[in-house]
Structure 1
């Protein structure tokens, strides 16, 4: 059975990530494991080692009580002394064959540095759960780049389709697919292009692929504009519970970003987001 890596939330205001992660694991037929992190900067003395053990023991008792209240005592809990939780999560999930990480996030315009670091370095898909009211929706929206000719992005489209279909089937949600024809704002403002014609041409250009999806026309959305803004508006209009999107992780000096479009979307999105990295 595949495994699901649940990161215990560090902020009290976040959604109940553990309960939702366990529920998601059950729906997706995955084995959930919870990882709780603690760390304090203490002097390197014998007392330090004793304090570390006491803190770990206290955290383990807290987690045992929490899991008991949830009725999930059978779910394995790993309490780890580690300063940088994302570094541990990325390495451990890859080395131990987890195929999904679940983490809570604050309101999207206040994503924490740990969220960004996780998305920029993860080797497996990451599900970010939000406490925003829109997560009470019922749809799954897939963001595809149908115009790409790059092999890695074509593979990413396939993974988005595969995982999006699995998520929709497991949660009993309606599947929607979106493709955004990127048109700069200055071009839109000057009205030098016929947007309806661009949309019509995009449908014609990708007709075979769209037919192969087996979806009704109401479930396919081709829109002209800025991808981040269009996807944000579309998730709100459809009341999507999940957005499934890809993220191009870059190497070297550009490794600190996951792609301008992906980062712009995550700054504003108000639903749960499944981010699939190019390295997954």
Structure 2
């Protein structure tokens, strides 16, 4: 049995993260623990600072203890952490203490480097980010794979995404769908420089054996052309997907912090919960 790390939601988050996290823990057969974060900067006397710090932590603990009573989950371990940077503690603690899934509400932010982006760039544990605007009556799990990659690290990441998506679909009773987006910029599509339908047919033919090995019905396999973030959003809405499972290669350095990737772009509009699997490297 694995362990599930639930991040207590930010004040501006409208998703009931604790309730949903406990539900996921039960479905996936994992032991949940809840982590609440608080931090304030004080000027002045160190003694006063420590007293205020303890009072803030105790206030947070009392709030969440009462919430767990309401959910009949008083036995769930609760940790109140004093940390300026949430993502740093989550990344280190989850990896070192043997957690195999982090559940967190998507943090609404207009800043260039919101908490969720920082977490996705550093985590070594899969992260489930819960949407604030879920689709109604969802009943499927959509996984995004890069079928054409020849990069060994990406191929390994594909296998991890497939594994976690199957596990999630089995646990939730959702229908498993596969999406592969052939990246073709809109300008090229509009100019009809390429025969998009032929590209899609060629991709199906090229990956026929791989797709057959996955054992999915044809109607649950979707190869489409376009920009990945928009295509996955539209497909998830059409399928009414409860979950979107995808991999993320974590960039390092200044350019990594500035450019982002498909997983991060998806978070800005998605209406499904997103399970992000970090690359092993």
Normalised by the size of structure 1, how large is the TM-score? Answer: 0.95
Higher alpha-carbon deviation: 261-270 or 145-154:
261-270
1:57 to partner: Cα distance? 1.6
Would you say the 8 A contact 1:56–1:81 is kept in 2? Answer: yes
For the residues of structure 1 that align with 2:68 and 2:273, how far apart are their CA atoms?
Answer: 23
For the residues of structure 2 that align with 1:193 and 1:240, how far apart are their CA atoms?
Answer: 30
For residues 174-193 of structure 1, what are the structure 2 equivalents within 5 Å?
A: 174-193=175-194
Kindly tell me: are residues 15 and 112 of structure 1, through their superposed partners in 2, closer, same or farther at Cα, counting changes over 3 Å? farther
1:178 to partner: Cα distance? 0.4
Structure 1 spans left out of the alignment, 5+ residues: none
Higher alpha-carbon deviation: 152-161 or 33-42:
33-42
User: Counterpart in 2 of 1:227?
Assistant: 228
For the residues of structure 1 that align with 2:258 and 2:102, how far apart are their CA atoms?
Answer: 19
Kindly tell me: are residues 235 and 112 of structure 1, through their superposed partners in 2, closer, same or farther at Cα, counting changes over 3 Å? farther
For the residues of structure 2 that align with 1:110 and 1:20, how far apart are their CA atoms?
Answer: 26
For residues 222-261 of structure 1, what are the structure 2 equivalents within 5 Å?
A: 222-256=223-257, 259-261=260-262
Structure 2 spans left out of the alignment, 5+ residues: none
Would you say the 8 A contact 2:131–2:270 is kept in 1? Answer: no
Kindly tell me: are residues 112 and 7 of structure 1, through their superposed partners in 2, closer, same or farther at Cα, counting changes over 3 Å? farther
Higher alpha-carbon deviation: 101-110 or 221-230:
101-110
For the residues of structure 2 that align with 1:68 and 1:4, how far apart are their CA atoms?
Answer: 19
Q: CA RMSD in A?
A: 1.9
Task: Determine whether 1:20 maps to 2:14.
Answer: no
For the residues of structure 2 that align with 1:108 and 1:242, how far apart are their CA atoms?
Answer: 22
Q: Secondary structure at the match of 2:271?
A: coil
Would you say the 8 A contact 1:135–1:270 is kept in 2? Answer: no
User: Counterpart in 2 of 1:6?
Assistant: 6
For the residues of structure 2 that align with 1:111 and 1:222, how far apart are their CA atoms?
Answer: 32
